[in-house]
Amino acid sequence: MKNETIAIVGSTGKTGVRVLTQLQERGYATRGLSRNSEHPFDWGDRTTWKSALRGVHSAYVTYYPDLAVPQAENDMRAFVELAKSVGLQHIVLLSGRGEEGAQRAEELVKNSGLEWNIVRASWFMQNFSESFMLEGIQAGELILPEPKANEPFIDVDDIADVTVAALTRTDLRNQLLELTGPEILSFDNCIQLIAEGSKRSITFTTAPIAAYISAAKAEGLPEDIAWLINELFVNVLDGRNESTTDTVERVLGRPARRFLDYVKTTVPTGVWSTAN
């Protein structure tokens, strides 16, 4: 099985890079796919897909910018059909918890006739250190649209560990794996833990969604990301995800990492130091 090529679509992303690294360390044949990889893959250019997937047995699929966006359903339908035509056998799809668009993409994969897994994850803890929230934290004030609910944040390392298990363990095939952290926290709780861990004064401030989006777009936020932030804060963060699962422990035999665990491992990297 280790000689059968596993493709990682989005191999430079938060989860993709971790999954690729783990598989390579374990000796699996891999093919990292991104716009600038040896085998280029671009969600915005379907002409790149066929050569990127030819000869691949399994694929871990992350969609950019997010499965919630309207274009995702059509792209995933085309991806599944192409995957079948080139002989791909198994798709592991990273999905978003509580997103209607993501659930439509999930159904396309589940009904594809291929072996499948859905890794449906809550908000990433690493959004505080590897994504759009980092700049505010470095500046000492994170400003976000006002969340209407709390969230069971999941460590991306846990997502990667479960994904690698799904790709390499046949006993997990054709299962939905819904992942959350072990505790439900507010964004304010998270910022307090980061501030305490990094020994800095960091505040959390909320703004009306329209004003936040307008200001962010004025600073260069792309239109598709602006749409996604609006979707997440207006629709998804409405309480529908205020519950936890035990999937990480069931699959890996250990509990999911707590937010404090994430803070303790991230502080030494210096990423939350004051911005230059």
Question: Where do the structural domains in the chain lie, given as residue ranges?
Answer: 6-125+154-180+242-256
pLDDT at 235: 85
pLDDT, residue 47, reads 98
Do residues 87 and 61 lie in contact, with contact meaning Cβ atoms separated by under 8 Å?
A: no
Closest listed residue to residue 82, CA positions, set 49, 125, 120: 49
> pLDDT tens digits for 151-198?
999 999 999 999 999 999 999 999 999 999 999 999 999 999 999 999
Q: What is the pLDDT of residue 223?
A: 87
* Cα separation, 166 vs 149, whole angstroms: 30
Tokens of 223: 């239109």
Q: What is the mean pLDDT of the chain?
A: 95
Residue 26: predicted pLDDT: 97
Q: In what helix (H) or strand (E) does residue 91 lie, and over which residues does it extend?
A: strand 90-96
**What pLDDT sits at residue 228?**
87
pLDDT per residue as tens digits for the range 66-97: 999 889 999 999 999 999 999 999 999 999 99
Residue 118, SS3?
strand
The model carries a pTM of 0.96
6-125+154-180+242-256 carries CATH number 3.40.50.720: yes
Which of the residues in the chain have pLDDT under 50?
276
pLDDT reported for residue 275: 62
